[in-house]
Structure 1
Amino acid sequence: MEPHDAPTAAQLLAAVRDFLSDDVLPAVDGRVRFHTRVAINVLGMVERELELGPEQAAEHRRRLAELGVADDAELAAAIREGHLDGPENRAEVAELVRQAVRAKLQVANPGYLD
């Protein structure tokens, strides 16, 4: 059971995003219109991070653990120091990086994945 009542944080963000898109954006122009579009995009990113972030983080931690590193900093150090240069690790490192970038795009701008 969740500690907070409805609406959820994601639902609140969606309501504000919809208000900006449907009511504010058509009524403004120029600089305010641009900043409204930016705000709509930011709210969408936050919504997607709330929805996708926990699963993405768990999956990223799993991939890091498979390589024997605790976090991205340790991964970077292992790569820099040549500890993951073997052919058995190259594919795993490449896949980890590919999936990390994919996760970032799923949150920041899923349209880039199409």
Structure 2
Amino acid sequence: MNHPDARELLHIARQTLLQELLPALPADKRYLTLMVANAMAIAGREYQDANSADGLEHEHLQALLDDRQLSLGDARQGLAAAIREGRFDGGDERSRLLEALQQTTLAQLAISNPKALP
């Protein structure tokens, strides 16, 4: 027997909240309820897509730092240090950094606020 996974459970709970409970709540509770529903939607997307977004970021950072052995955390720290040192201040390096940051940001935005995507 297949049981719903965490994403499916969040989706079911969110739909129940919005369709069944929200209409029955007093007006002063609607905003809070919608905030909870939004958090549930973000959590569902996070469950489904976070590994992919982190993997994309990890690949970009390893390529920027030219070190395929770095963990994601170490790559983030290494990137911050490289930026402080001015490694990406000009030319092609700057373009590579901006492209990687843009792709990483878009992947994270698809999780946290997909309506804001271009």
Q: RMSD value over aligned CA atoms?
A: 1.5
TM-score (normalizing by structure 1): 0.87
Query: Displacement, 1:71?
Result: 2.3
Question: What residue ranges of structure 2 are gaps of 5+ in the alignment?
Answer: 68-73
TM-score (normalizing by structure 2): 0.84
Query: Displacement, 1:84?
Result: 2.2
2:4 to 2, 7, 18: 7
Aligned 1:20-99 pairs, distance under 5 A: 20-68=17-65, 70-99=74-103
Question: What residue ranges of structure 1 are gaps of 5+ in the alignment?
Answer: none
2:115 to 87, 111, 114: 111
Question: Aligned pairs, how many?
Answer: 110
Q: Percent identity?
A: 31
Q: Which amino acid aligns with 1:75?
A: L
What is the CA–CA distance in structure 2 between the aligned matches of 1:73 and 1:39, rounded to whole Å?
A: 33
Runs of 4+ aligned residues of structure 1 deviating over 4 Å after TM superposition are: none
